[in-house]
Amino acid sequence: MKTLSPAKKWNKYFTAGLVMTGAAVFLGLLGLFWTPYSTTAMSAAERFAAPSWRHLFGTDNFGRDIFSRVMQGMGTTIVISTLVVLFSGAAGILLGALTGYFGGVLDEAVMRVTDAVNGFPSILLALVFISILGNGRQNLILSLGIVFVPSYVRIVRGEYLRLRDADYIKRARLMGVGRFRILFVHILPNILPVFGVSVMIGLNNAILAESGMSYLGIGVQAPDASLGNMLSDAQGYLQAAPWYALAPGMVIVWIVLGFSLFSEGIRRRVE
Amino acid sequence: MIRIEDLSVAFDGPEVVKNVSLEIRDGEILGVVGESGCGKSVTALTLMGLVAESARVTSGRIYFDDTLLLEAGRPRDKALYRRFQGDEMSMVFQEPMTSLNPTQRAGKQVDEVLRLHTRLDAAERRKKVLETFEAVGLKDAETVYASYPHQLSGGMRQRVMIAMAVILHPRLLVADEPTTALDVTVQNQIVSLLQKINRQQNNAMLFITHDLNLARRLCQRIAVMKDGCVVEQGETEQIFRHPEQDYTRRLLEAVPSRMKRRKSPYVPAEEQALSDPVVQVRDLSVYYQDGGNSLFGKKRRHCVVKDVNFEIYPGESLGLVGESGCGKTTLSRAVLGINRDIEGQVLHSTLRPQMIFQDPYSSLNPARTVGWQLQEPLRAQGATAVGGAMTRADMEAAACDMLRRVGMDERYFYRRPAQLSGGQRQRVSIAQALITHPGFIIADEPVSALDVTIQAQIMELMQRLRREMKLSFLFISHDINVVYQMCDRIMVMKEGRIIETGETEEIFDSPKEEYTKELLASARNNVQ
């Protein structure tokens, strides 16, 4: 029998991750509806204002408040990444469950396709999908989602392979429980701890990927703010206004570090 | 020679070994018996200096001759231990597969012991290893020397382990359940071997086991442990004949053996013959396919079970015995209809036979509550029922009722398997199998993984349910004594064939086949 000691249940990774992630998610989601300043209002008088109490992170080349834009950008990034992970996670569970449990030709086919997808750098592949589907948020979510599916399929498939011959699953079959009920009611709850951790890690990757795509100008389009396109805008002013690039960059680091600590904390709790 | 005084060991929480004092004399075999979790292994590992780093010795000391090996409150002296490990004392573990390195040849692994502890050159070492292999009964020593562990059988691996342990002629051999993972006949050989080594090398042995019969056969003195304490200690026969403690008495009574009177069949034979059999198996052969896993792999078909005929009548319990790998499980899967690659016929008169598995830890879904799992067969049945499904309340009531019948109560309804003990889990498994009133149950080693006292309780429960619910059993086991208590008739299986069938008494009193006699002989050896 496993009994968790309190120290393991509530570790420092988890606490630090929770605080960092919580702050980022709160500010980000708030930023989608309310920001201290308008994110698009320009002011020629206040171009490149250095950070101050009036403008926490300073202003950019159009005199827009960087803190407000970072808030909104954070929100956009978090929402898009969450949707990407939801899409790829759901597809991963479905495909992984079917291939892992039933095996056979379907398994071979799906696994070879995922091998092929894994063979390319994920950003490159997402670029290809975007260029086929066209620009826009939905297409960004869809193409990043597709790129992330294989990793989930592999994890879920492995777990199903491991559990499909467990004694309690054999017994469920003997009771006459239907196949799909076995797949999603009997087995699925048992893989959720493992799956949960990989979702957290996936969320991190999705945030980085979304930022990368937006940086390349293929993700979120101006004048909407996103952490990636802010970085790319700031590139020309590294000398004149270093805070312009520093703010979104630090925020990306903050979010990714927060999620990493959070998922590590969860992993330690689960094990 | 070895003195353990007042030893207590604790991990994170409370002490798992409490004030244990043991003494092992030169040339003596001391048995430590007790149920799982009683602290017998931790005691042995502490003695050997192999216990996990997180263990703390909270009181007591251990002496080897006059050397103080270990004392509470002092850090473990690793250098001192290294002098004793191997040369003076060594250990044989339970699981021969995981105790050997799978990537190295068996000979090399034994050779390493000599390389570390002696100054012999390569040729001398090789000669010594081969000699030892022969001494532990490995006939083709040269072949074994060059084999990898997976190429050896369980019994051979255990012999290699023993060779490794005795090659330096240590004065103390600690054997932790060395035969538990082996078949009865092999078990027997290993025990004889240990006895022989003890006589020839005159070394002392600490023999840890949960099997009282084994301890009785092998040990001169026995210490009985419970919850970390030694409750009784003395000469073997003294303990077996006149146990002083209640716990020892209960432990002895729980051991299934022929000495105890068997209860007569619950359904009279005449009545059984009048009704139609619940299961009829006609000329059944079962095949197994190899290499079907990869896309282009060539499939090979093996015949695992050949021409099996039998029937089971209502209320009857049929035993199926044989060594592991003889096809028992394959046959049971074919009878259940899981294994489809068969020739011949399997006829059922009941709707859905159910199965009880050996391992109580993997036969319940860890993610679901006990109540949920008990209702699941009813829900599954409801999905195909003609007269409509049971209502929620009905199902819950049925689950609670079943829980009571297996000797548990509603408090367990919302618990998860992780919160139950092994015996309780096996009870829930049985409840789950019986809740749809299947009439026919296949039990595959249902008590083999349990401690003796729990084993006795579960066997009693199965007998009671059999009577109450008019159940028929196909009872699979390698333990002849368990089968003797549980079954009306016995089938003996060897290499995929049923070689002998008959009434239990008949098989036990006058077995016809050589193999059956051998099987019975090793079982009897264990008893007396």
- Give me the interface pTM, i.e. the ipTM: 0.76
Residue B11: predicted pLDDT: 80
Q: Please name every residue paired with B63 in a beta bridge, in sequence order, or none if there are none.
A: B3, B68
Residues from chain B that touch A186, judged by Cβ atoms under 8 A, are 365, 368
Chain B contact for A2, CB < 8 A?
yes
Confidence of residue A254 (pLDDT cuts 50, 70, 90): very high
In a domain? residue A48: no
- Please name the member of A168, A175, A178 whose beta carbon is closest to the beta carbon of B362: A168
- Please name the member of B338, B376, B419 whose beta carbon is closest to the beta carbon of A177: B376
Determine the residue type at B488. D
Which of A114-128, B83-97, B349-363 has the highest average model confidence (pLDDT)?
A114-128
Backbone angles phi, psi at B508, to 5 degrees: -70, -40
- Please name the member of A5, A167, A192 whose beta carbon is closest to the beta carbon of B357: A167
In a domain? residue A136: yes
Residue A253: predicted pLDDT: 93
Q: Which run of H or E residues covers position B317?
A: strand B317-321
Residue A128's CATH number:
1.10.3720.10
Residue B261: predicted pLDDT: 45
Q: How far apart are CA B195 and CA A263, in angstroms?
A: 55
To test the contact with chain B by mutation, choose from A171, A183, A191 the residue with the greatest count of B C-beta atoms within 10 A, namely A171
Residues from chain A that touch B377, judged by Cβ atoms under 8 A, are 175-176
Nearest chain A alpha carbon to B378: A175
**Strands (E) located in B164-220:** 172-176, 204-209
Residue B56 Cα to chain centre, angstroms: 30
In a domain? residue A186: yes
DSSP B233: E
Give the mean pLDDT of B417-430.
88
B230/chain A closest Cα distance in angstroms:
24
Residues of B with CB under 8 A from a CB of A: 12, 293, 295, 336, 338, 352-355, 357, 359, 362-368, 376-377, 379-381, 383-384, 418-419, 429, 432-433, 436
DSSP B246: H
CB spacing of A178 vs B367 below 8 angstroms: no
Tens of pLDDT along A172-223? 988 888 899 999 999 999 999 889 888 988 999 999 998 888 888 887 777 7
Determine the residue type at B439. G
Backbone angles phi, psi at B383, to 5 degrees: -65, -25
DSSP B478: S
In a domain? residue A200: yes
CA nearest A197: which of A268, A269, A266? A266
In a domain? residue A40: no
Give the mean pLDDT of B246-266.
66
CB B173 within 8 A of CB B1: no
Residues from chain A that touch B436, judged by Cβ atoms under 8 A, are 175
CB spacing of A167 vs B363 below 8 angstroms: yes
Q: How far apart are CA B338 and CA B256, in angstroms?
A: 32
Residue B295: predicted pLDDT: 53
Chain B contact for A124, CB < 8 A?
no
CB spacing of A174 vs B352 below 8 angstroms: yes
The answer to which of A81-90, A217-226, B204-213, B232-241 has the lowest mean pLDDT is A217-226
Q: Which residue has the higher pLDDT, B266 or A14?
A: A14
Q: How far apart are CA B31 and CA A6, in angstroms?
A: 38
Q: How far apart are CA A160 and CA B424, in angstroms?
A: 27
Residue A269: predicted pLDDT: 76
* Whether the predicted pLDDT of B299 surpasses 70: no
Residues from chain A that touch B378, judged by Cβ atoms under 8 A, are none
In a domain? residue A5: no
CA nearest B441: which of A147, A2, A174, A107? A174
Confidence of residue A49 (pLDDT cuts 50, 70, 90): confident
B437/chain A closest Cα distance in angstroms:
11
Q: Computed from CA positions of residues B160, B163, B168, B170, in that sequence, does the dihedral angle turn out positive or negative?
A: positive
Nearest chain B alpha carbon to A190: B367
Q: How far apart are CA B425 and CA B438, in angstroms?
A: 20
Residue A154: predicted pLDDT: 92
CB B286 within 8 A of CB B303: yes
Q: How far apart are CA A140 and CA A144, in angstroms?
A: 6
Nearest chain B alpha carbon to A4: B12
Residue A112: predicted pLDDT: 92
* Whether the predicted pLDDT of B258 surpasses 60: no
Structure tokens at A98: 């079917």
Residues from chain B that touch A178, judged by Cβ atoms under 8 A, are 380, 383
- Please name the member of B336, B363, B383 whose beta carbon is closest to the beta carbon of A168: B363
CB B456 within 8 A of CB B256: yes
Tens of pLDDT along A132-149? 988 888 889 999 999 999
Q: How far apart are CA B209 and CA B224, in angstroms?
A: 10
Confidence of residue B369 (pLDDT cuts 50, 70, 90): very high
Residues 172..191 of A with a Cβ closer than 8 Å to B: which? 172-178, 181, 186, 189-190
Q: How far apart are CA B510 and CA B504, in angstroms?
A: 10
* Whether the predicted pLDDT of B291 surpasses 80: no
Residues from chain B that touch A2, judged by Cβ atoms under 8 A, are 418
Residues from chain A that touch B381, judged by Cβ atoms under 8 A, are 175-176
Q: Which run of H or E residues covers position B126?
A: helix B122-135
Residues from chain A that touch B375, judged by Cβ atoms under 8 A, are none
| Percent of chain A whose predicted confidence (pLDDT) is above 70 | 96
In a domain? residue A105: yes
Determine the residue type at B339. N
The secondary structure of chain A, three-state, reads CCCCCHHHHCCHHHHHHHHHHHHHHHHHHHHHHCCCCCCCCCCHHHCCCCCCCCCCCCECCCCCEHHHHHHHHHHHHHHHHHHHHHHHHHHHHHHHHHHHHHCHHHHHHHHHHHHHHHCCCHHHHHHHHHHHHCCCHHHHHHHHHHHHHHHHHHHHHHHHHHHCCCHHHHHHHHHCCCHHHHHHHHHHHHHHHHHHHHHHHHHHHHHHHHHHHHHCCCCCCCCCCCHHHHHHHHHHHCCCCHHHHHHHHHHHHHHHHHHHHHHHHHHHHHC
CB spacing of A171 vs B354 below 8 angstroms: yes
Residues from chain A that touch B376, judged by Cβ atoms under 8 A, are 172, 175, 177
Q: Please name every residue paired with A96 in a beta bridge, in sequence order, or none if there are none.
A: none
CB spacing of A175 vs B380 below 8 angstroms: yes
| Buried b / exposed e along B61-72 (16+ C-beta atoms within 10 A) | bbbbeeeebbbe
Q: How far apart are CA B331 and CA B288, in angstroms?
A: 11
To test the contact with chain B by mutation, choose from A160, A165, A167 the residue with the greatest count of B C-beta atoms within 10 A, namely A167
* Whether the predicted pLDDT of A82 surpasses 90: yes
In a domain? residue A2: no
Residues from chain A that touch B16, judged by Cβ atoms under 8 A, are none
To test the contact with chain A by mutation, choose from B296, B365, B420, B440 the residue with the greatest count of A C-beta atoms within 10 A, namely B365
- Please name the member of A5, A168, A175 whose beta carbon is closest to the beta carbon of B364: A168
- Please name the member of B12, B295, B363 whose beta carbon is closest to the beta carbon of A171: B363
Domain count, chain A: 1
Question: What angle, 0 to 180 degrees and rounded to 10, lies between the N-to-C axes of helices B184-201 and B514-527?
Answer: 50
Residue B477 Cα to chain centre, angstroms: 10
Query: What is the pTM assigned to this prediction?
Result: 0.74
* Mean pLDDT, chain A, integer: 86
CA nearest A73: which of A256, A207, A203, A206? A207
Q: How far apart are CA A220 and CA B44, in angstroms?
A: 65
Strands B172-176, B204-209: pairing is: parallel
Nearest chain B alpha carbon to A188: B367
Expressed as residue numbers, the domain containing A203 is: 11-29+59-270
Give the mean pLDDT of B229-246.
88
| Buried b / exposed e along B41-56 (16+ C-beta atoms within 10 A) | bbbbbbbbbebeeebe
Spatial strand order in the sheet of B221-226: B89-92, B172-176, B204-209, B29-33, B221-226, B229-235
